Structure 1
């Protein structure tokens, strides 16, 4: 196979649905995503998309290019903002759909095969727990299992935590003495040396610290010289939680990372209008992605 593989990852605040009578932003959300002509879309915060036979989910997939959408089931007493993946059926054949049930928010995991290729890819979307650092670590370890047995994986993640290679990042970790939202402080920090709480970077270290996954933003920003790939992604609106940080990631196994051509953090005024998260856009060489994976 030849050509580009285009991938979008985006946490759309409240799924673009207005709050307290504010304007419904779903048409703009779909217009923005459609402009990237994606073959894969990783979505977080699909609030309300399950209702009415998943009518909203299918509306979005159809509006952004006739993709096939999949999402996890919302469960009462847990998060009601599920995750999803949408794929271009002109590019991929579906093999299997799996939902990995976890205490707060499930992970969706599609197995697909690029048409004309024998290689199977796992495409997953995850939104790590916003309030419990230990649960985030558990969720990260669950994501690690997707790459077991040499499987090839790409995953879009809202990490609700911070990259662990702080020496390579474009922005410094929060100065927690300056963060006014003390609930956010408890949610995003863990006990550190001398009893002082520090920023939670454990999920990033679990996922990418030993070579199982590549943080594609970091790879683009350092190895490919695309420094804008390290731009912060959230929060684009709140001023009481410290400066924006790079908490949204697209990760992949190294065989897929070899095919990365470019990586963008998109935070235009239109994006900010509909979400507190930037949109991530990655472009790959499809032929490289389809090459057989070597044993890791």
Structure 2
């Protein structure tokens, strides 16, 4: 029995910038968190020389790793806790930095429990238009199905995390305010982080967050900060202010489908020194026994809070 499941989400800057000592030190920091899942972004170079860097990081973390297309993202898992049932290499046509997406079994829940979809993503840096299209494809990971023991097709829970390169709509105590466009000194960055609304006004880009919410995915930090006596620390910035890029911002976020939310027991942002990375670590903890109960309720044919459509898996958008 595992009482607490720990998930870490981190965009480690350029995978250590080809500095093996820095890369090892950074992942030793991750390993000290004793995570069961790690969602990594910017895995540059991890697939070179026979995936030498990937295997190096597996050894440091004590976990197995899966690289997404073009070594942009990765998922690492403690094989004593999670086992991969399926990889999803076809991530859609719009991605500049494709995600890593897996169907995984939470082993303490048993062989008949519902699996869940786990994904690590990195939305486009420069184009709000492309970010929106990528996010629309990202919603397909909340639309995957699994056959229950009695043969019913049920929508799986999903847990996804990564670098959105955009902002959540402020609305929770402690949430960083949206940047003021004119206060961003770097003019190209103004274009990167904003979009034109139908009336011709330029808005800071919150559309990915809104799209994920519309698809039934919930920002776990916002959930924790506003429920169950959570604290504003859950919605602390994940990147620090830069003269060119603007103020502190919470661009790194973890989302879950609603049936998983009751299992959330903590969300926090762990600060990382700038000499190691330009992003902080988001750490999520889940109640292990409650997660087991949720996944077994789903396996009995319950679809969770976001419903079931009865559509076979192969017919779902983005399936394949």
- The question of a shared fold, defined as TM-score above 0.5 by the shorter chain, is answered with yes
SS state at 2:259 partner: helix
How far is 1:237 from its partner? Answer: 6.1
1:73 to 69, 73, 76: 69
Task: Please state whether the residue corresponding to 1:47 is helix, strand or coil.
Answer: coil
Q: Judging changes above 3 Å, is the alpha-carbon distance between structure 1 residues 12 and 31 closer, same or farther for their aligned structure 2 residues?
A: same
Distance 1:281 1:218 in 2: 13
CA contact (8 A) 1:256 1:288 kept: no
1:158-209 CA-to-partner distances (Å, cap 9, x unmatched) read 1011103x23252211111111111111011011365321101110000014
Task: Give the TM-score, by structure 2 length.
Answer: 0.83
| Structure 2 residue corresponding to 1:157, chosen from 162, 167, 192 | 162
Q: Offset at 1:73?
A: 2.8
Matched, 1:4 2:4: yes
Conserved 8 A contact 1:108-1:124: yes
Give, in angstroms, the shift of residue 115 of structure 1: 1.4
The number of residues matched between the two structures is: 281
Match status 1:128 vs 2:120: no
Give the 4+ runs in structure 1 shifted more than 3 A.
none
2:102 corresponds to 1:110: yes
Provide the rounded CA distance (Å) in 2 between the counterparts of 1:268 and 1:124.
23
**Which structure 2 residue ranges, 5 or more long, are not aligned?**
146-154, 308-320
Q: Which of 144, 169, 185 lines up with 2:139 in the alignment?
A: 144
Determine the structure 2 residue equivalent to 1:77. none
Within the candidate set 287, 290, 293, 2:289 is matched to 287
Shift of 1:278: 0.8
Deviates more, 1:41-50 or 1:217-226: 217-226
Question: 1:25-80: per-residue Cα shift (whole Å, max 9, x none)?
Answer: 1122111101100000000000111111111011112101x211001131xxxxxx
2:270 to 258, 266, 269: 266
- The 5 Å alignment of 1:5-84 reads 5-17=5-17, 24-64=21-61, 66-74=62-70, 82-84=72-74
Task: Quote how far apart the aligned CAs of 1:152 are.
Answer: 0.9
Q: Distance in 1 between matches of 2:125 and 2:162?
A: 12
Report what 1:275 is aligned to: 277
What aligned pairs does 1:121-270 form with structure 2 within 5 A after superposition? Answer: 121-148=116-143, 149=145, 150-164=155-169, 166-168=170-172, 170-192=175-197, 194-209=199-214, 212-224=216-228, 225-234=230-239, 236=240, 238-269=242-273
Residue 286 of structure 1 deviates from its aligned partner by 1.6
Comparing 95-104 with 84-93, greater Cα deviation is found at 95-104
Give yes or no for the alignment of 1:87 onto 2:74: no
Give the TM-score normalised by structure 1.
Answer: 0.89
User: Could you tell me how far apart the structure 2 residues matched to 1:54 and 1:238 are?
Assistant: 34
Unaligned 5+ runs, structure 1: 75-80
Kept in 1, the 8 Å contact 2:104–2:115? The answer is yes
CA distance in 2, matches of 1:252, 1:217: 10
